[in-house]
Amino acid sequence: MKIAVAVDSRYSKVSGHAGRARHWLVYEPNTASSAVRVELEAAQVFHHYEGDAPHPLDGITTVIAISAGEGFMKRMQARGVDARQTAETDPDKAVADYLAECLSAPKPRPIGALLCKTLDLFSKHK
């Protein structure tokens, strides 16, 4: 099992808009290793990624972010990835809560959700 968490550029807080996230922490809970930092190139960001080439986040089973658009959620589902949104901002706690099946629900974001839906209308990744 590999869990990827979208994080800010300092790798310290869970970030929003997973489809545009460049920084990720990848956890393998069944191993003793700590989270691995992954920085995506611009073309590897899921919002732009063309799915033919290998991707640095191939093999993940779960993604966690503060927010994600409907297009991102559908793309992850098509890849067999469990995509979750949360209000939790600490990456380690978000993973621990996910594993304990008590990940906090995302905060309502009506304006952000409307923006994501608008962007998804013009995205080639529907």
Number of helical H runs and strand E runs in the chain: 3, 5
Q: Is residue 83 situated within a structural domain?
A: yes
Q: Is residue 126 situated within a structural domain?
A: no
pLDDT at 53: 78
Per-residue pLDDT tens for 51-71?
A: 677 889 999 999 999 998 888
Which tokens go with 123? 């995205």
Residue pair 23/50 in contact (Cβ under 8 Å)? The answer is no
Number of domains in the chain: 1
SS (H, E, C) 21-76: CCEEEEECCCCCCCCEEEECCHHHCCCCCCCCCCCCCCCCCEEEECCCCHHHHHHH
Q: What is the CATH number of the domain that holds 112?
A: 3.30.420.130
pLDDT at 87: 95
Q: Domain limits at 25?
A: 3-121
Give 50's pLDDT tier (boundaries 50, 70, 90): confident
Q: CB burial class (10 A; 0-12, 13-18, 19+) of residue 79?
A: middle
Whole-number Å distance between alpha carbons of 28 and 2: 5
Q: Is residue 15 situated within a structural domain?
A: yes
Q: Is residue 77 situated within a structural domain?
A: yes
Q: Is residue 18 situated within a structural domain?
A: yes
The model carries a pTM of 0.84
Q: Is residue 79 situated within a structural domain?
A: yes
Q: Is residue 76 situated within a structural domain?
A: yes
